[in-house]
C-alpha cells in the first residue's frame, strides 16, 4: 500500500498523521501479541511495540512543542492492520508475521518521507530517521522469522 503520510504540507499535520499511524501500529501489535503462539516471537513483537510507544511519546512531545493537537488513537485504517493479523491467525504464526511485515512497509515509507519533509524541523527529521531505522529493523526481523 502506498501512503501519503510523511508528505504533508504543514509540520502540525505531519506530526498528527504520524501519531495516528503509530496508534494504528500499536493496535496491530496488540492483536499480534494476543494471537501468536510462539513465546519468542511474542517477546520480540512486544519489544517492537515498545519502540512504537516511544515514537508516540516523542511525537506527542513534538505536538506539544508546536502547540498542536496530539491524536490519542488511530483511525479506520486500524481495522485494516488488525484485520490482516486476525485473518492470518487462522493459518499460524508465520502468516501473522508476514501480515505484520506488510504493515511495516507503510510505516517505513511514512518515516522515510517524513525525514525528507521540509516542513519538519531538523530535530524532527533526525527523529524520523531513527524511527525509519526502527521500522526497518522490525520488518527485517519479521521477514526472517516468517521465512520470507
Walk along the chain (148 residues) and give the pLDDT tens digit of each residue: 568 899 999 999 999 999 999 998 998 899 889 889 999 999 999 999 999 999 999 999 999 999 998 887 654 454 455 445 544 444 457 887 888 888 899 999 999 999 999 999 999 999 999 999 999 999 999 999 988 7
Domains and CATH numbers, the chain: 11-146 (1.20.1260.10)
Residues 81/103, Cβ–Cβ less than 8 Å? yes
Which segments within 7-147 are labelled E, that is strand?
none
pLDDT of residue 135: 96
pLDDT of residue 71: 85
pLDDT of residue 147: 85
Using the structure block, give the residue that is written with the C-alpha cell 500499536: 26
pLDDT of residue 55: 98
pLDDT of residue 51: 98
CB atoms within 10 A of CB 8: 19
Residues 33/84, Cβ–Cβ less than 8 Å? no
Amino acid at each position: 500500500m502506498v501512503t501519503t503520510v510523511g508528505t504533508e504540507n504543514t509540520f502540525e499535520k505531519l506530526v498528527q498523521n504520524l501519531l495516528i499511524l503509530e496508534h494504528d501500529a500499536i493496535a496491530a501489535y496488540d492483536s499480534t501479541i494476543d494471537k501468536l503462539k510462539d513465546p519468542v516471537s511474542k517477546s520480540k513483537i512486544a519489544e517492537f511495540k515498545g519502540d512504537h510507544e516511544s515514537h508516540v511519546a516523542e511525537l506527542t512531545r513534538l505536538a506539544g512543542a508546536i502547540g498542536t493537537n496530539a491524536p490519542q488513537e488511530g483511525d479506520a485504517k486500524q481495522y485494516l492492520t488488525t484485520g490482516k493479523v486476525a485473518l492470518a491467525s487462522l493459518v499460524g504464526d508465520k502468516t501473522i508475521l508476514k501480515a505484520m511485515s506488510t504493515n511495516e512497509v507503510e510505516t517505513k515509507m511514512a518515516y522515510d518521507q517524513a525525514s525528507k519533509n521540509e516542513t519538519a524541523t531538523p530535530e524532527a527529521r533526525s527523529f524520523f530517521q531513527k524511527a525509519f531505522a526502527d521500522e526497518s529493523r522490525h520488518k527485517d526481523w519479521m521477514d526472517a522469522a516468517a521465512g520470507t
